[in-house]
Amino acid sequence: MNKRENSISMNGKKKKRSAVSERLLSLICFLLIIICWCVGSYGGMVRDIFLPSPTAVAGKIIAMAKDGSLWANCWESTLRVLVGWFWSAVAALPMGMLMANSRKISAFVQPIIEFARYLPVVALVPLTLLYLGIGETQKYTIIFLGTFFQLVLMVCDTVAGVDSNMINAAKTLGAGKMQIYKEVIFPAALPGLMDDFRLTIGWAWTYLVVAEMVAADNGLGYMILRSQRYLATDTIFAGLILIGLIGLVTDFLFRVLSRIVAPWYDRLTDK
| pLDDT (tens digit per residue) in 185-219 | 888 888 889 989 999 998 898 888 888 877 778 88
Beta carbons of 238 and 61 less than 8 angstroms apart: yes
State which amino acid sits at residue 265: Y
| Backbone phi, psi, residue 98, to 5° | -65, -40
Query: pTM for this one?
Result: 0.82
How many angstroms from the chain centroid is the CA of residue 70? 22
Which sequence spans correspond to the domains of the chain? 1-46, 50-269
Q: 139 pLDDT exceeds 70?
A: yes
Segment 66-115, tens digit of pLDDT: 888 889 999 999 999 999 999 999 999 999 988 988 888 888 988 899 89
Which one of 3.40.50.1100, 1.10.3720.10, 3.30.465.10, 2.40.50.100 gives the CATH number of domain 50-269?
1.10.3720.10
**What mean pLDDT is reported for the chain?**
84
Q: Where are the alpha helices (DSSP H) in 102-176?
A: 103-116, 121-132, 136-160, 164-172
> pLDDT category, 271, cuts 50, 70, 90?
very low
